[in-house]
A = this chain, B = another copy of it.
Amino acid sequence: MHKEHTLTKNQQIIFDLIDKSPEPMKAYAILFSVQKKGIKAPLQVYRALDKLVEIGKIHKIESRNAFIACHNSSCQVSKATAFSICEICEKITEISSASLSKYLANFKDKDGMKYSKYNLEFFGLCKKCR
């Protein structure tokens, strides 16, 4: 489970927005949406995003510069992320597969090195777009 964190006002506003969004949100789209709530500057958004990522409430989709709420209750979740991305409609889903996360968590490279964290992005066409 996530360690419980009490979110600050800005963090809560931004988390709620991302959590309700049906799709990942970009930083400046977030900024635009929360301006009426008094969050006026990019830095306020980025600081909240950084913290939310750090505590595992949201994830960043690196290839899209977008943020999505974590809907995975596994405890490793902020350090072990996997997503599927549709290259046509840009639908993005967090993958939660026990076998995948087990495989990757135990992966060792040629030098026997293990890693503390990973991010995996799969690309393809979703059901609708196929």
| A-to-B contact residues, CB < 8 Å | 62-63, 84, 95, 97, 100, 103-104, 107, 109-111, 113-127
Contact = CB atoms under 8 A, between A and B. Distances in A.
22 contacts: A62-B62, A62-B121, A63-B119, A84-B113, A95-B109, A97-B107, A97-B109, A100-B107, A107-B122, A113-B124, A113-B127, A114-B124, A115-B123, A115-B124, A116-B123, A116-B125, A117-B124, A118-B121, A118-B122, A118-B123, A119-B120, A120-B120
A76 to B, nearest CB: 13
Given A62-B62, A63-B62, A117 B107 contact: no
Contacts of A63: 62, 119
A83 to B, nearest CB: 10
